[in-house]
Amino acid sequence: MSSDLSIAIIPARGGSKGVPRKNLREIGGRSLIVRTVQAAKAASRVSSVYVSTDDAEIAAAARSAGAEVIARPAEISGDTASSEAALLHGLETLAAAGVSPDRLAFLQCTSPFTTAEEIDQCLAALDDATISAAFAAKLDHGFYWETGADGLASGVNHDDKQPRKRRQDLTPQYRETGSIYAMRVADFKAKGVRFCGPTVLVPIDGPLIEIDTLEDLAICEAMAAQREAPAGGSLDFASVRALVMDFDGVLTDDRVLVLEDGREGVLASRGDGLGLGRLRETGLPMLILSKEVNPVVSARGRKLKIEVSQGQDDKLPTLKAWLGAQGLTLADAAYVGNDINDLPCLEAVGFPLAPGDARPEVLAVAKYVTAKPGGHGAVREICDLILAAQRQD
């Protein structure tokens, strides 16, 4: 294996006392496990994402978001089991399968706003060969106190016997966020602890919050409503005159099932199909526009009764020609794409849309990002928005 291989492991037990079934609780329409997997998959430095779990439902959710699953034994799945035990077991399991990464990103689901950029920053800190570990931290301007043996309070990061300093005059200090840890695998295996040698902190700008209680969950839900409101939340979906969709990663979860005879299959959402069926009844022109040449694309189009144009390396000219045949312009069209080959179309149309697990480059261009990932209700969400806008128009 490459000595530069970096992977992410996300420990996610099924049990949780403070918030029952915590890792499956949703924030902004996505469960904590799905949010963390999606952030890891979007990180450019992460080659593969693994979820270590003892829970079948968490495993299914992880796979749906694109992660691979490591079955976590019962003896390291209880309340007293450490995250390090799950990580070491995961690395041993992967080594037995021939996967030997050089760097490990350890991610925790309790931090729902972790970003791909933050993960990349922590892994990048290990580019310095003298550094064994790095972790995400937040600048903290608080005044800290402790209680002594005499029961009296005394300052920890300030001298309470001296005139009060301004917060900005305190020595800069950082609080561990608990969201991201990066380690050199060899050092971690040797020490068995996340801070396995010379360690640096990586300052991040995101919120400092970990979900341990139902109150934390409610706070994060409110934060998500503000932080993750779609950039195009005010889009006039009633003005959409045509809907064009990529196939892989939009109508599927971007995975392929390869059979022993070489045939390929994909997983699609019945909910997406129902939404498209309702939209088709309104007479809205629709097109599946795909680079993929596999006949499964046309087969799905026939099932949905939607026109298909596949094997298109350069999609924009085909999109323009199809719209012209409908008597429409690029400004009239909504285009749903998830990867960089969709960018020319997304940048050209009036309604650029993306599934919630699209590539970061696509999310930056989209004017509406769905709460659901591709192949798991993203298209249904868009269909519902268009239908609702038509009813109000």
The full set of domains in the chain, from first to last, is 6-227 (3.90.550.10), 237-392 (3.40.50.1000)
pLDDT at 254: 83
pLDDT > 90? residue 231: no
CA angle 130, 135, 140 (to 5 degrees): 125
**Cβ 315 vs Cβ 291: under 8 Å:** yes
pLDDT at 201: 96
Dihedral, 257, 261, 262, 266 alpha carbons, nearest 10? -20
CA angle 159, 178, 46 (to 5 degrees): 135
CA distances from 109 to 58, 62, 155 (A): 12, 12, 33
The helix/strand/coil state of 27 is: strand
The pLDDT-based confidence of 56 (bands split at 50, 70, 90) is: very high
Dist. CA 76–CA 57, nearest whole Å: 18
> pTM here?
0.61
**Cβ 230 vs Cβ 241: under 8 Å:** no
Q: How many Cβ atoms from other residues are within 10 Å of residue 263's Cβ?
A: 11
User: Would you say the C-alpha torsion 154, 157, 161, 165 has a positive or negative sign?
Assistant: negative
The secondary element (H helix, E strand) that includes residue 90 is helix 83-96
The pLDDT-based confidence of 229 (bands split at 50, 70, 90) is: low
CA distances from 174 to 36, 165, 177, 302 (A): 23, 18, 9, 57
Across 17-31, 181-195, 304-318, least confident range: 17-31
By residue count, the chain amounts to 393
> Which tops the pLDDT comparison, 14 or 88?
88
Dist. CA 217–CA 56, nearest whole Å: 23
For 143-197, the pLDDT digits (tens) are: 889 999 999 999 888 888 888 888 777 788 899 999 999 999 999 999 999 999 9
Dist. CA 116–CA 356, nearest whole Å: 13
Dihedral, 148, 153, 154, 158 alpha carbons, nearest 10? 140
**Cβ 32 vs Cβ 112: under 8 Å:** yes
Structure letter (DSSP) for residue 198: S
Give the pairing of strands 173-184 and 133-140: antiparallel
Identity of residue 24: L
Please compute the mean of the pLDDT values over residues 67-84 and round it to a whole number.
89
- For the chain, what is the HEC assignment? CCCCCEEEEEECCCCCCCCCCHHHCEECCEEHHHHHHHHHHHCCCCCEEEEEECCHHHHHHHHHCCCEEEECCHHHCCCCCCHHHHHHHHHHHHHHCCCCCCEEEEECCCCCCCCHHHHHHHHHHHHCCCCCEEEEEEEECCCCEEECCCCCEEECCCCCCCCCCCHHHCCCEEEEEEEEEEEEHHHHHHHCCCCCCCEEEEECCCCCCCCCCHHHHHHHHHHHHHHCCCCCCCCCHHHCCEEEECCCCCCECCCCEECCCCCEECCECHHHHHHHHHHHCCCCCEEEECCCCCCHHHHHHHHHCCEEECCCCCHHHHHHHHHHHCCCCHHHEEEECCCHHHHHHHHHCCEEEECCCCCHHHHHHCCEECCCCCCCCHHHHHHHHHHHHHHHC
Please compute the mean of the pLDDT values over residues 63-72 and round it to a whole number.
91
CA distances from 40 to 46, 357, 359 (A): 7, 11, 11
Please compute the mean of the pLDDT values over residues 199-203 and round it to a whole number.
96
pLDDT at 230: 55
